[in-house]
Chains A and B, each alone.
Chain A
Amino acid sequence: MCRLALKTAIEPFSPYEVLQAMEAMQEGYDGSGLGLLLRGMEFEDFKYNPRFPILSGIANTDKAWRRLDDFMEDLGYELKYDHRFRVDKSYVEDRDRFRYFVRAYRMPDRFADATTEEREQELLATRLALRKNGEENGRDLSVFSFWPDVAMIKEVGWPLQIGNLLGLHDGQIKSRVCMAQGRQNTNYGINLYACHPFFVQGISTMTNGENTAFVPIRDWLLGRDFPGYMGYQSDSEVFTHILHYAIKQLKLPLQAYKHIITPLSTKELDNHPQGDFLKGLKSVCRRLIIDGPNAVIGTLPDETCMLVMDQKKLRPATVGGREGAWAIASEMCGVDAMIPDRDPSFDFQPMREHTIIIPPERKELTIWSQYDQFPLSQAA
Chain B
Amino acid sequence: MVPVRSIPVEPGSLTYPDLPWVIQHREDRCTLCGHCTTVCPKESIYLAYRRQRVPKLEILSKKRGNDYRTFVGIRQKPNPKHACIGCGMCAMVCPNEAIAPVPNTIENRTLFFDNIKGEAPKRGGRRNATGPTLLDRIMFDRISMLTDPALDAGRHEFTVTTTLGRILSPEDYLKRSSEGGWIPPTREIFPFVIGSMSFGALSPNMWLGLLQGVAYCNEVLGIPVVMCTGEGGCPPWVLKSPYLKYIILQIASGYFGWDEIIRAIPDMQCHPAAIEIKYGQGAKPGDGGLLMWYKVSKLIARLRGVPEGVDLPSPPVHQTLYSIEESVMKMIQTLSMAFDHKVPVYPKISASTSAKAVLNNLVRNPYAGGLLIDGIDGGTGAAYNVSMDATGHPVASNVRECYLDLAAQGKQNEIPIYAAGGIGKNGNVAQNGMALVMLGASAVHIGKYIMQATAGCLGNEQNRCNVCNVGICPKGITSQNPKLYRRLDPDKVAERVAESFMSIQTEVKKIMAPLGRSQSLPIGMSDAIGINDKDAADRLNIKYVC
| Chain A residues proximal to chain B, CB less than 8 Å | 186-187, 209-210, 212-216, 219-220, 222-225, 245, 249-250, 252, 262, 265-266, 277, 280-281, 283-287, 289-293, 311-312, 314, 378-379
What would be 17 A-B contacts, judged by CB atoms less than 8 Å apart?
Answer: A210-B516, A212-B517, A214-B527, A220-B412, A222-B410, A245-B170, A252-B174, A265-B157, A266-B161, A277-B177, A283-B163, A286-B167, A286-B520, A312-B156, A314-B147, A378-B174, A379-B177
Q: Check: B504 CB closer than 8 A to any chain A CB.
A: no
Which of B163, B411, B518 is close to A223, meaning CB atoms less than 8 Å apart?
B411
| Chain B residues proximal to chain A, CB less than 8 Å | 144, 146-147, 149, 151, 156-157, 159, 161, 163, 167-174, 177-178, 183, 186, 188, 407-413, 515-520, 522-528
- Count, A-B residue pairs, CB within 8 A: 104
Which of B168, B171, B172, B178 is close to A378, meaning CB atoms less than 8 Å apart?
B178
List chain A residues, Cβ under 8 A from B186.
283
List chain A residues, Cβ under 8 A from B412.
219-220, 223, 287
CA distance A212 to B151 in the complex (A): 11
Which of A186, A187, A215, A285 is close to B170, meaning CB atoms less than 8 Å apart?
A285
CB-based contact B410/A223 at 8 Å: yes
The 3 closest A-B pairs by CB, nearest first: A223-B410, A212-B516, A378-B178
List chain A residues, Cβ under 8 A from B171.
249-250
CA distance A45 to B161 in the complex (A): 58
Q: Which residue on chain A has the smallest CB distance to residue B156?
A: A312
List chain A residues, Cβ under 8 A from B516.
210, 212, 291-293
Q: How far is the CB of B74 from chain A (nearest CB, A)?
A: 58
Which of B147, B157, B413 is close to A220, meaning CB atoms less than 8 Å apart?
B413
Max chain B C-beta neighbours (<10 A), residue from A186, A249, A262, A287? A287
Q: Which residue on chain A has the smallest CB distance to residue B515?
A: A212
Which of A216, A262, A265, A314 is close to B525, meaning CB atoms less than 8 Å apart?
A216
Max chain A C-beta neighbours (<10 A), residue from B408, B413, B515? B413
CB-based contact B519/A291 at 8 Å: yes
Q: Which residue on chain B has the smallest CB distance to residue A289?
A: B520
CA distance A350 to B172 in the complex (A): 32
List chain A residues, Cβ under 8 A from B515.
212
CB-based contact A265/B159 at 8 Å: yes
List chain B residues, Cβ under 8 A from A216.
522-525
Given contacts A214-B527, A250-B174, contact A284 B168 (CB under 8 A): yes
List chain A residues, Cβ under 8 A from B413.
220, 284, 286-287
CA distance A223 to B171 in the complex (A): 14
CA distance A209 to B412 in the complex (A): 27
Q: How far is the CB of B170 from chain A (nearest CB, A)?
A: 5
CB-based contact B178/A281 at 8 Å: no
CA distance A286 to B412 in the complex (A): 10
Q: How far is the CB of A374 from chain B (nearest CB, A)?
A: 12
Q: Which residue on chain B has the smallest CB distance to residue A263?
A: B519
Q: How far is the CB of B411 from chain A (nearest CB, A)?
A: 7
List chain A residues, Cβ under 8 A from B411.
223
CB-based contact A223/B149 at 8 Å: no
CB-based contact A210/B144 at 8 Å: yes
Given contacts A210-B146, A280-B173, contact A215 B524 (CB under 8 A): yes
List chain A residues, Cβ under 8 A from B173.
280-281, 284
Given contacts A209-B147, A280-B177, A286-B163, contact A223 B407 (CB under 8 A): yes
Given contacts A286-B167, A312-B518, A314-B149, contact A213 B525 (CB under 8 A): yes
CA distance A210 to B517 in the complex (A): 11
Q: How far is the CB of A357 from chain B (nearest CB, A)?
A: 21
CA distance A314 to B171 in the complex (A): 31
CA distance A210 to B172 in the complex (A): 31
List chain A residues, Cβ under 8 A from B520.
213, 286, 289, 291
CB-based contact A187/B146 at 8 Å: yes
Q: Which residue on chain A has the smallest CB distance to residue B168?
A: A284
CB-based contact A262/B519 at 8 Å: yes
List chain A residues, Cβ under 8 A from B188.
266
List chain A residues, Cβ under 8 A from B177.
277, 280, 378-379
Q: How far is the CB of B373 from chain A (nearest CB, A)?
A: 19
List chain B residues, Cβ under 8 A from A280.
173, 177, 183
CB-based contact B167/A283 at 8 Å: yes
Given contacts A220-B412, A223-B409, contact A250 B170 (CB under 8 A): yes
Q: Which residue on chain B has the smallest CB distance to residue A225?
A: B410
List chain A residues, Cβ under 8 A from B409.
223
List chain B residues, Cβ under 8 A from A214.
527
Q: How far is the CB of B3 from chain A (nearest CB, A)?
A: 77
List chain B residues, Cβ under 8 A from A312.
151, 156-157, 518
Q: How far is the CB of B532 from chain A (nearest CB, A)?
A: 21
Given contacts A210-B146, A223-B407, A223-B410, contact A215 B174 (CB under 8 A): no
CB-based contact A215/B407 at 8 Å: no
Besides A210-B147, A223-B412, 11 other CB < 8 A contacts? A187-B146, A209-B147, A210-B516, A215-B526, A216-B524, A223-B407, A223-B411, A280-B177, A286-B163, A291-B516, A291-B520
Q: Which residue on chain B has the smallest CB distance to residue A218?
A: B527
Q: Which residue on chain B has the smallest CB distance to residue A185?
A: B146
List chain B residues, Cβ under 8 A from A379.
177
List chain B residues, Cβ under 8 A from A262.
519
CB-based contact B146/A186 at 8 Å: yes
List chain B residues, Cβ under 8 A from A283.
163, 167, 186
CB-based contact B170/A281 at 8 Å: yes
CB-based contact B168/A223 at 8 Å: no
List chain B residues, Cβ under 8 A from A285.
170
CA distance A379 to B411 in the complex (A): 24
Q: How far is the CB of A196 from chain B (nearest CB, A)?
A: 15
Q: How far is the CB of B224 from chain A (nearest CB, A)?
A: 9
Max chain B C-beta neighbours (<10 A), residue from A222, A224, A284? A284
CA distance A186 to B146 in the complex (A): 9
CA distance A224 to B527 in the complex (A): 20
List chain A residues, Cβ under 8 A from B517.
212-213, 291
CA distance A220 to B159 in the complex (A): 20
